[in-house]
């Protein structure tokens, strides 16, 4: 069994011993008295509910209009972003975060890829040591370890669940009904990486382990789509790929520049049989330090969801750690199989890289380097980013074998050599992002290249 000493970042104020967190407990005693998300307290609660468009045949276009059961006038920003950021800032004003992320220094590293570096010294100041398996992607849920049912409801922004119609709605206060389905919630990450950093926790009361399935994947795509903002990305880390909690969750935040991986050229390798219009297309990244796949297309969101979910399930069943980045309002998904924890456990990562204490999860792999020491931030270079991420990447032979497994899992076919097309999306992406209005993001959180 391969193990490494893990020191996970605190993502909830209840992640540490509950006796040390009495300042976060509510005065009204309900259930266990902690007003948590567990079955003892949650069923008696009322929370805001964002009910998203649940049209199974909807096209892959960002949400533009929403029916609101609310007195709030809709601004140019999507209502979901307006709601999320407003609630997130409210929790900041109430002192629920471990530190003020808006004071963290950020810069674009000079070079071809424009990697983004952030100095986030506060993110590793409060940690608790634990042992983590790094050689097993699928592990059973353990109720004795920290999980999101222990989170206080003050950390929850709203429930996020499908609507009964083809229109999205917002309800300011709705009783939790656990008799039908377990609620899915959006909560703050109390150790944020960026502005608006949240957790999406599907079916929180079902206590699902950290493994992707079609339902949770579709929920994450809906969150990206409803946000309707290209600067809002959703990420996922599997066990073995630096997920720190074995309770199903995604992460998401706003960053006002393109991620380097979003600008990387790609080459189409797999597509729907017969090259029919609207088929899901899978490409591979070119000239990027981490080998990865990019999923696009499909006639509906369900088409794209099934392709990426089945690919993730294939990796899970083959015990291959991976990370997922959901980009472009849910229309472009990056899949990164990785082996950094394996390399680390085998002693094949240099001491120089280990000393930085950077665990390359989805955000680092995508090009947002979260650094914990002033020295590393001041000395950050493209060479450092490349050396770190190169240790993440699967070797070429394992990656080629993996592509075959995935093409079989999602019932697609490889594109013949005569049909290869190199697709550099950097120009289109830059034009798309440059045209967006980002007035909902505070100026001191913007990164200007």
Q: What is the largest CA-CA distance in the chain?
A: 68
189, 207, 206, 185: which is closest to 198 by C-alpha? 189
| Annotation marks residue 249 as catalytic | yes
SS3 content of the chain, % helix, strand, coil (to 5): 30, 20, 45
Strand partners, 106: 118
Element (H, E) at 93: helix 79-93
Distance CA(22)–CA(18), nearest Å, equals 7
Find out whether 74 and 68 touch, Cβ atoms under 8 Å.
yes
Reported for 179-182, long-range contacts at CB under 8 A and 24+ positions apart, including other chains, are 182/206
151, 154, 112, 319: which is closest to 247 by C-alpha? 151
Q: How far is CA 302 from the centre of its chain?
A: 19
Set 35, 169, 247, 249: catalytic member: 249
Sequence-ordered alpha helix ranges (H) in 280-439: 301-317, 340-345, 351-355, 362-366, 374-378, 382-390, 396-409, 426-434
Distance CA(431)–CA(369), nearest Å, equals 24
Which residues have a catalytic role annotated? 249
């Amino acid at each position: 069994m391969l193990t490494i000493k893990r020191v996970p970042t605190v993502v909830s104020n209840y992640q540490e011993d509950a006796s040390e967190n009495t300042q976060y407990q509510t005065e009204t005693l309900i259930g266990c008295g902690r007003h948590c998300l567990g079955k003892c307290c949650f069923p008696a609660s009322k929370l805001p509910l964002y009910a998203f468009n649940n049209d199974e045949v909807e096209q892959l276009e960002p949400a533009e209009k929403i029916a609101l059961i609310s007195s709030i006038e809709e601004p140019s920003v999507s209502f979901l972003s307006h709601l999320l950021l407003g609630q997130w800032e409210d929790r900041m004003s109430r002192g629920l975060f471990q530190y003020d992320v808006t004071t963290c220094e950020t810069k674009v590293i000079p070079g071809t890829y424009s990697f983004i570096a952030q100095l986030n010294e506060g993110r590793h100041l409060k940690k608790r040591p634990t042992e983590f398996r790094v050689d097993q992607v699928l592990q059973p849920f353990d109720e004795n370890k920290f999980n999101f049912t222990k989170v206080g409801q003050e950390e929850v922004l709203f429930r996020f669940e499908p609507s009964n119609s083809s229109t999205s709605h917002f309800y300011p206060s709705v009783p939790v009904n656990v008799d039908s389905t377990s609620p899915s919630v959006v909560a703050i990450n109390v150790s944020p990486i960026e502005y608006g950093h949240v957790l999406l926790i599907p079916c929180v009361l079902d206590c699902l382990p950290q493994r992707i399935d079609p339902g949770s994947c579709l929920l994450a795509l809906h969150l990206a789509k409803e946000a309707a903002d290209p600067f809002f990305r959703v990420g996922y880390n599997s066990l073995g790929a630096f997920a720190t909690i074995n309770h199903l969750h995604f992460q998401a935040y706003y960053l006002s520049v393109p991620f380097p991986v979003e600008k990387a050229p790609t080459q189409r390798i797999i597509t729907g049989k017969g090259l029919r219009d609207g088929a899901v297309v899978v490409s591979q990244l070119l000239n990027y330090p981490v080998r990865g796949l990019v999923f696009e297309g499909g006639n509906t969101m369900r088409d794209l969801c099934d392709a990426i979910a089945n690919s993730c399930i294939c990796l899970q069943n083959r015990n291959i750690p991976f990370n997922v980045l959901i980009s472009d309002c849910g229309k472009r998904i990056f899949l990164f199989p990785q082996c950094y924890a394996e390399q680390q456990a085998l002693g094949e990562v240099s001491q120089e890289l280990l000393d930085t204490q950077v665990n390359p999860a989805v955000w680092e792999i995508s090009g947002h380097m979260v650094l914990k020491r002033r020295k590393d931030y001041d000395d950050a270079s493209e060479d450092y980013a490349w050396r770190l991420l190169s240790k993440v990447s699967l070797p070429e032979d394992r990656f080629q074998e993996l592509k075959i497994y995935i093409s079989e899992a999602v019932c697609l076919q490889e594109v013949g050599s005569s049909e290869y097309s190199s697709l550099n999306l950097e120009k289109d992406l830059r034009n798309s992002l440059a045209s967006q209005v980002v007035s909902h993001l505070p100026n001191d959180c913007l990164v200007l290249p």
